[in-house]
Structure 1
């Protein structure tokens, strides 16, 4: 009798532990249920809609973010560079390429909570589409790091993991089924501080 009770409790503990761990992993991972991936960028297009899956709803509740609806826009998050390495605050990067059609877009370096990386100079820690310099083909090149760079520069400082958050507002890609045709800028590591 005692042996049966102990085995039952052990089975329940394993089930709760493995189940809880898998849910935690699913909410932490940028790839997952409902995600689309374009290059290094990941988005959850259904996250602000009635048809959002339970994991997307849990992600919104846990992070406390105001999710954009399909007609409002779409946010992409990058956690790795073009070589597949995790993004680090102590490294310098170049974000280069074209941006999809949108009325307005923003780009910022984010910490673990997806808030703007604390640099002491928040105005330099984010860029938006109206302030960037463009090349003749409308492509944009952005230097990211703790040392000022000519042209477009995004300040990051400190040590540890970071993300890039690229949000498009009032864009046809948010409601389009042709997301596979969209090209987003690449993230190339330039170097790291010792």
Structure 2
């Protein structure tokens, strides 16, 4: 009798613990179905719309994220470089190329839970399309690094992995008509500081 009670308790503990862990993982790491992938970047065009799936709604509700409507814009995320390695705050990267047409865009670094990295004193926590230096053809290069860099610099303080968040406002990309021939900038590793990918 006691053995049956203990066995039942153990099974319930495993079931409840495993279920809670899977829910935690889904809410922290899984953004939902219907991802739009462009190179290293992915977005969820249905987020914030009535067509959004339950996972995306739960993820947004738990993180307190306010999703953009389809007519407002689209949020892209990148957590790996061109070689497929996780982005590391101790490394230096170049974000280079061009962006889809948009009235305005922003770029910032976040942790794996998509919370913005806390800026250090004197550092800008984000960049936007109206402040960056561009080449003659309209392309640009942004250096993402823990150390100060000339030109367009996005600081990433601390250590550990991070995610790049690029948000486009008032853009045709947010509608299905803007998804063809979509081009996003590339994130490439250019320097390995001490402890980079260590």
- TM-score, normalised by the number of residues in structure 2: 0.86
CA contact (8 A) 2:41 2:77 kept: yes
User: In 2, distance between residues paired with 1:166 and 1:54?
Assistant: 24
Residue 171 and residue 123 in structure 1: after superposition, are their counterparts in 2 closer, same or farther (change >3 A)? farther
Aligned to 2:54: 54
Residues matched between the structures, number: 194
CA contact (8 A) 2:30 2:59 kept: no
Give the superposition deviation at 1:169. 0.2
User: In 1, distance between residues paired with 2:16 and 2:177?
Assistant: 38
Aligned to 2:167: 167
2:34 alignment partner, SS class: coil
Aligned to 1:41: 41
1:143 alignment partner, SS class: strand
Aligned to 1:154: 154
RMSD of aligned Cα (Å): 2.2
Aligned to 1:100: 100
Give the superposition deviation at 1:14. 3.2
What are the superposed Cα offsets for residues 20-74 of structure 1, whole Å, 9 maximum, x if unpaired? Answer: 3332222232565232222111211111111111110111111101111111001
> Gaps (5+ residues) in structure 2?
none
- TM-score, normalised by the number of residues in structure 1: 0.87
Range moving further from structure 2, 115-124 or 87-96: 115-124
User: In 1, distance between residues paired with 2:119 and 2:178?
Assistant: 37
1:181 alignment partner, SS class: coil
Residue 34 and residue 9 in structure 1: after superposition, are their counterparts in 2 closer, same or farther (change >3 A)? farther
Aligned to 1:89: 89
User: In 2, distance between residues paired with 1:102 and 1:21?
Assistant: 39
What are the superposed Cα offsets for residues 97-154 of structure 1, whole Å, 9 maximum, x if unpaired? Answer: 1100111000011234433322324652311111112222221111111333332221
User: In 1, distance between residues paired with 2:80 and 2:22?
Assistant: 22
Range moving further from structure 2, 78-87 or 7-16: 7-16
CA contact (8 A) 2:80 2:86 kept: yes
User: In 1, distance between residues paired with 2:109 and 2:153?
Assistant: 12
Give the superposition deviation at 1:79. 1.2
CA contact (8 A) 1:133 1:151 kept: yes
User: In 2, distance between residues paired with 1:19 and 1:30?
Assistant: 15
Range moving further from structure 2, 31-40 or 66-75: 31-40
1:182 alignment partner, SS class: coil
